[in-house]
Amino acid sequence: MLNHDSLFDAMSGISDDYLASAADLLGDTKEDNLMHFDSSRNQAGARKAGRILLIAAVLVCLFTVTAFAAGLFSISTRVPDAKETFQIHWDDSENGYLEWSDAKLVLTFPAVAESREIEFRPGWLPFDLPKELPGSAPWNGIDKDTWFRRFASESLCWSENEGKYPEEYRKIDQPILIEAYSMAQFHDGGAMLMLYQTPENVTEEHWDEPGVDVLSFHGKQHFEERDIPEMDLHIDAYDLEYDYALLSNAEQGWIIEVCGQLGMDTVRRVAENLEIRETGNTLTQADFQNKYLFIDGGVG
């Protein structure tokens, strides 16, 4: 029933511009008079949060031998030498690029000059979809009829939508992420890079029905216990584990990444049930700023 609670909750959908303007009015965004929190309380809160983070990271681990297959497959993989550097476009640096070494995996694709832009919608997900909310609210829901180029489910598993998801998902930060990419972005020697996670159990397949090559693997990264003294913040050691399925269509020049923390069976089922359609647009490398993408870094 609509009541004052639902109206108060709906205030969370107020647009970003209105929120920022009101925060300015209140003076909350001024950098003077910064808060310096009490150390003991902060430590306790951080440790609690650190435990939550640890719980989120503890998932089923697959201990299998890495096996890279070779052959006529539209995704090529190689493990680079630890000293091999990649010059990544980076506005914040003096040179305009960032030199990155110690990448864990390099994925390259056929050098197509043009990619057909595609979008997708999930035909199956391991949870029901809440209806879409407006604006850029972090708990934005989705509609079953919505087509995407990027679908991130992590924000649906907390806060306003908590009750709509199985209990076991609520502490998982990214249950499922689906994102469409274009091979044209990598036209002149670019690649998708795994920066942090070590791939395990790499398998190659061809799925006849959607006509795609599929590369799947398990990614794992260990974070050491650490302190951030400036904030008196402590983060416990933890392992972050993801499963990935990369769908590649060389003829049309698109790639779809499906990844998440719900296990490979779930990731594969989501990938197998994707509906894919062309938008009618074509993309070339000029449409992209960078010839590299980071699978596990979120930038590119």
Q: Which of residues 213-232 bind another protein (CB under 8 A)?
A: 226, 228, 230-231
Whichever of 84 and 227 has its CB closer to another protein, that residue is 227
The reply on whether position 17 binds another protein by CB under 8 A is yes
| Interface with another protein: number of residues (CB under 8 A) | 81
Whichever of 35 and 70 has its CB closer to another protein, that residue is 35
Whichever of 6 and 188 has its CB closer to another protein, that residue is 6
| Listed ranges 33-41, 78-86, 111-119, 212-220: which one lies at the site for another protein (CB under 8 A) | 33-41
Question: To the nearest whole angstrom, how small is the minimum distance from the Cβ of residue 240 to another protein?
Answer: 10
Give the CA dihedral 57, 60, 64, 67, nearest 10 degrees: -60
The reply on whether position 45 binds another protein by CB under 8 A is yes
Report the C-alpha gap between 103 and 85 in whole angstroms: 8
Question: To the nearest whole angstrom, how small is the minimum distance from the Cβ of residue 96 to another protein?
Answer: 14
Dump the DSSP string for 277-290. Answer: EEEEEEE-GGG-S-
Window 188-217: residues binding another protein (CB under 8 A): 196
Q: How many CB atoms lie within 10 A of CB 215?
A: 24
Window 259-298: residues binding another protein (CB under 8 A): 294, 297-298
Angle at 155 between CA 151 and CA 156, to 5 degrees: 85
3-state DSSP assignment of residue 257: strand
Angle at 102 between CA 61 and CA 70, to 5 degrees: 65
Task: Considering only CA atoms, give the Rg of the chain.
Answer: 21
Window 143-172: residues binding another protein (CB under 8 A): 152, 154-155, 158-160, 162
**Which residues fall within 8 angstroms of residue 249, CB to CB, at 6 or more apart?**
74, 210, 211, 212, 213, 255
| Listed ranges 19-27, 110-118, 200-208, 241-249: which one lies at the site for another protein (CB under 8 A) | 19-27
Interface pick for another protein out of 92, 94, 145, 188 (rule CB under 8 A): 92
